[in-house]
Chains A and B, each alone.
Chain A
Amino acid sequence: MTKNLRVKSSEYVDETNRISFKFNGKTYHGFKGDTLASALLANDVHLVGRSFKYHRPRGIMTSGSEEPNAIVQVNPGTNRTEPNVRATEVEIYEGLEASSQNCWPSVEFDIGGINNFLSPFFPAGFYYKTFMWPASFWEKYEFFIRHSAGLGKSPTSSDPDIYDHRNIHCDVLVIGAGISGILAAKNAAKNNFKTLLVDEKNELGGSTIFENNEFNKIDNKTPSEWLKKEIEDIKNIKNLEIKTRTSVAAYHQYNYLLARENLTDHLEAKDKINKIRQRLLKIRAKKVILATGALERPLIFNNNDRPGIMLSSAVKKYSEFYGVACGNKNVFFTNNDSAYESALSLYNKGINVKAIIDIREQSESKIVKKVKEAGINIYWSHTVVDTTGYKRLNSVSIMKLSNDGTSVTGSKISISCDCLGVAGGWTPAVHLYTQSGSKLKFDEEKKVFLPNQNTTEQISVGSCGGDFKIDEIIKNLNQKLKDILNINETDLDSIKVEIDQENSKRNIWLLPSDKPLGKTKPFVDYQNDVTAKDIKLALREGFRSIEHVKRYTTTGMGTDQGKLGNMHALGIIADTAGVKMGELGTTTFRPPYTPLTFGTIVGRNVGKFFDIFRKTPMNDWHVENKAEFENVGQWKRAWYYPIDGETMHQAVQRESKAARGSAGILDASTLGKIDIQGSDASEFLNRVYTNAWSKLAIGKCRYGLMLNEDGMVYDDGVTTRLGENHYIMTTTTGGAANVLGKLEDYLQTEWPELDVYLTSVTDHYATTSLCGPNSKKILKKLIPDLDLSDENFPHMSFKEAHIGNIQCRIMRISFTGEHSYEMNVQASYGKDLWEKCIEAGKEFNITPYGTETMHLLRAEKGFIIVGQDTDGTMTPIDLQMDWIVSKKKYDFIGKRSLYRSDTMREDRKQLVGLLTDDPNIVLEEGAQIVSELNQSPVEMLGHVTSSYFSPNLKKSIALAVVRGGKDMMGKKLFVPMENKNINVTVANPVFYDEKNEKLNA
């Protein structure tokens, strides 16, 4: 029988709407409005997890996103499961299941708990120190270390939910809807700023909404009463968009922020279907108002991590907001007045508060007096020295604190209790502020890091800006709003605030115990199991920089990013090393502030939308004819067309023979096409290509090689002169966009005087390449009235013609070495022309071939592929293409570099052909080439760049780059492979039709 600790109905929890959920397999009940944490606490469940390293039992500590302990797996075993979720952030719904992480076999009995007793053997840097020897064993160690570290389980089936992205542009973004955020958003919107207010919680109001301290008044009302009215008011302001359940994850430069809007996580499974689960908001704001509040600090004392030890503010929130008592016997431990508010909150609801332990000597504020009047025992100048209770707190031991706060005196008093509310002061939540690049400054009096120097249009208001009391908040908020919004008056001018006096707090980073530090466990970072001992050890071992201590001890790492314990870690380092905290600085708070799911990051870009792909106009034909495809850049290209279960090798051999034997047809639409016009077009081509263009006649085509300024081959292709001032350039498929970019760069920045205009027309034309000895006959059938004679239409020339009604640009050019034509038609006619060619070619057994056969055919002919036979280190001279480099032109891109001492070296890698002594052995592309077999280390002369079995030559052929290869013709070399050495001979890279008889046939 579980206990019920629901004490009083709350306006935020709907007791008429009972919800059942499961935790660790057991069914519990809560109400609509509960979080998993509040519902568990209402059922008196504190133990929810085990710590990361020592497997110590841990309970719910906070009520928000700063929770370090209550990390659960939601809906385990389903495709919606999610690990590492904070129980304090999960809103319960009917059917919710959650389970503890990092424990086996169960959270109640965890085998790993033995680590707790072995903890003297696991100091900071344990892994670094222990698993170093022998180095080769690391892989074995790693396996076990990873298995014993438990951070939840990722889902094993695909995510059923939909995710989305949205771009938002606003004048003012307000982050955090506490009192400061609400007032800021209201005034911004009312002054005609398009405003967006976001808060990670499902309700507005922050902590002020349950602030019922009767000694604090705004316009004569309690802060919570007053704020409720403001919240009603802002819901109807135009210009103001409010998003709850929206957590800002990252704050980048120029006020660019990423936020996650949670839309369905609080709904039952049946209501999640076909809805967007989470949306990533990409927000570009002109001004950002940070109202992210402050996080309460714990206190660092021996065994401060037991289930039942919570933040005092959380105890108050569970009581005021959820109507849940966190314990039956409550004790508070504090260094300031805020614990008294929590104590009174419980007292007023009839919940037993046994004592308050205060490390200060006294406090005279009204609320302290009220607590005294209530008869609650206050132990001034006392500290907790130890706690007991393994899975749930059952007592605390306290002792008198010495005047300097470094030791304890007197006798030990034991107080039995099941909940200890700890109040160590407040830390402004400056995480997002620092992510934006803005700098912090340490305030020695308040002992906090505060926003100092903003880099962009940004302010921090309320407690994240260092104002903790309502009068300070209102006053400073008013001025800050006027400054950033550039307005003269706000509705804050007339607000009247009364507040209770508050005595300053007493700050001791590490509280003493009656035991020596070495025998205690004062946790600083709960999530990463880092104690004050570990931090001191790191300092003893010589670490000084806070960033180094962080990495060595792991404090402030993980999903927690030091939200609770970071200040204590810094304080302990500063005290121990004798430096000022301001000089020490903080570690970097990295985004995301709270974890994002992969789904949110990816949004709609899943499955076939993962990456853009481009299809040619003939794509459907290739699909219908069972082509296999390969990706070339973003293009899907037909790779080969297997018939009757052919392998790739069989298909390519057949296609290659057919293309040379009769006729082949290739979809070449993916080649880049750039339309070049202008009175200086010829001069422009002269400057970008290595060869000369001025004398190219209209209607003629020319192959061009383009270099980088460093002399290395960049791209190649055929350019055709269509008119006096009009050219069409083709580029490689993959290089199209870069070539256009490079040409634009030169035109705009180096040669703005040239009258030249570039237009990408790659997608405007579909290109069909007809090749083979019968290609001429097929084209004749398609265009009977075009004179295809060599005199009228020779190799490397261009004709404009009509096929039926389709206007067609035909180039007689060849990438295979066969007589061939490239036909360009408007893209929408591409498939039509392709099918006409197939039909006309039937009697010649026309064979469609893909990119693999194209590569084989061009290799037979010794034509290079930029990017396969070149790699950014090959000059045209290295490629043995001296013939294409104009000696007469004064300048072209890359020319000067061809005369640098390095590019003129004779022993550069040069392109050669390779023939294997055994004609049936096909070399592997990428294989290394050597001249000696019995040398060690052996000099690598180069490598194979292209290699095929040529069905037309009936032997293996290869292209390779070899050091000094130009002068090695006929030389015997070796290609050493794993199991054998292959003997090869250097040959001319043109293996087929060296005299170009076929081309001109």
Chain B
Amino acid sequence: MFLINCPYCGERDQQEFKAGGEAHIERPKQPTELSDDEWAEYLFMRKNIKGVQFERWNHAHGCRKWFNMVRDTSNDEIKAIYKMGEKPPTQ
């Protein structure tokens, strides 16, 4: 059970949160301009990395805010947490 440091509320138990899949997949601004393949790329294709992964999380049973997390999926180490719209850490 993770201990997650919500950027708005502080450290809370994992059961207050909901995982929201891969981060930094922006919804295309002009979907109608995209081919089927390009749209499918946005819609369906997700990475499943063993190692450092960028993820979206939601403090569903708390402030309801979404934020980003950098997590090593091989040992569940949370390496960084940052707000939506902020730049991901480079290292």
Within 8 A of A (CB), among B35-79: 36, 39-40, 43, 56, 58, 60, 64-66, 75-77
- A741 interfacial contact with B, CB 8 Å: yes
Between-chain CB contacts (< 8 Å), 23 pairs: A252-B1, A253-B1, A253-B76, A254-B1, A284-B3, A437-B75, A437-B76, A709-B43, A741-B58, A741-B60, A744-B64, A744-B66, A745-B66, A748-B84, A749-B84, A750-B27, A752-B84, A891-B32, A895-B31, A896-B28, A897-B39, A899-B32, A900-B36
Whether A745 lies near B1 (C-beta < 8 A) is no
Within the assembled complex, what's the spacing in Å between the Cα atoms of A900 and B30?
15
- B13 interfacial contact with A, CB 8 Å: yes
Q: Which 3 residue pairs across A and B have the least CB separation, nearest first? A: A896-B31, A254-B3, A256-B1
Within the assembled complex, what's the spacing in Å between the Cα atoms of A744 and B64?
8
By size class, the interface of chain A is 20 to 34
Within the assembled complex, what's the spacing in Å between the Cα atoms of A654 and B18?
45
Whether A748 contacts B65 in the complex (CB less than 8 A), given A284-B3, A896-B31, comes out as: yes
What 0/1 readout, one digit per residue, does chain A (722-759) give for beta carbons within 8 Å of chain B? 00000000000000000001001100111010000000
B residues within 8 Å of A by Cβ?
1-3, 13, 18, 20, 26-28, 30-32, 34, 36, 39-40, 43, 56, 58, 60, 64-66, 75-77, 84-85
- A890 interfacial contact with B, CB 8 Å: yes
- A710 interfacial contact with B, CB 8 Å: yes
Within the assembled complex, what's the spacing in Å between the Cα atoms of A749 and B64?
12
Known: A741-B58, A896-B34. 15 other contacts (CB 8 A): A252-B1, A254-B3, A255-B3, A256-B1, A256-B13, A284-B3, A437-B75, A709-B27, A710-B43, A741-B60, A744-B58, A744-B66, A748-B66, A897-B43, A900-B36
- A455 interfacial contact with B, CB 8 Å: yes
Contacts of B84 in A (CB 8 A): 748-749, 752
Residue of B nearest to A893 (CB): B27
Residue of B nearest to A256 (CB): B1
- A901 interfacial contact with B, CB 8 Å: yes
CB distance from A683 to the nearest CB of B (A): 15
Within the assembled complex, what's the spacing in Å between the Cα atoms of A741 and B56?
13
Within the assembled complex, what's the spacing in Å between the Cα atoms of A256 and B3?
8
Within the assembled complex, what's the spacing in Å between the Cα atoms of A348 and B25?
76
Whether A896 contacts B1 in the complex (CB less than 8 A), given A253-B76, A752-B85, comes out as: no
Contacts of A741 in B (CB 8 A): 18, 58, 60, 64
Within the assembled complex, what's the spacing in Å between the Cα atoms of A501 and B75?
42
CB distance from B83 to the nearest CB of A (A): 10
Residue of B nearest to A752 (CB): B85
Within the assembled complex, what's the spacing in Å between the Cα atoms of A891 and B39?
14
Within the assembled complex, what's the spacing in Å between the Cα atoms of A256 and B36?
46
Within 8 A of B (CB), among A894-927: 895-897, 899-901
Contacts of A901 in B (CB 8 A): 36
Contacts of B1 in A (CB 8 A): 252-254, 256
Residue of A nearest to B38 (CB): A896
Residue of A nearest to B26 (CB): A750
Within the assembled complex, what's the spacing in Å between the Cα atoms of A102 and B20?
49
Contacts of A752 in B (CB 8 A): 84-85
Contacts of A254 in B (CB 8 A): 1-3
CB distance from A758 to the nearest CB of B (A): 9
Within the assembled complex, what's the spacing in Å between the Cα atoms of A211 and B36?
76
Whether A745 contacts B20 in the complex (CB less than 8 A), given A252-B1, A891-B31, A900-B36, comes out as: yes
Contacts of B75 in A (CB 8 A): 437, 455
CB distance from B88 to the nearest CB of A (A): 14
Residue of B nearest to A750 (CB): B27
Contacts of A284 in B (CB 8 A): 3, 13
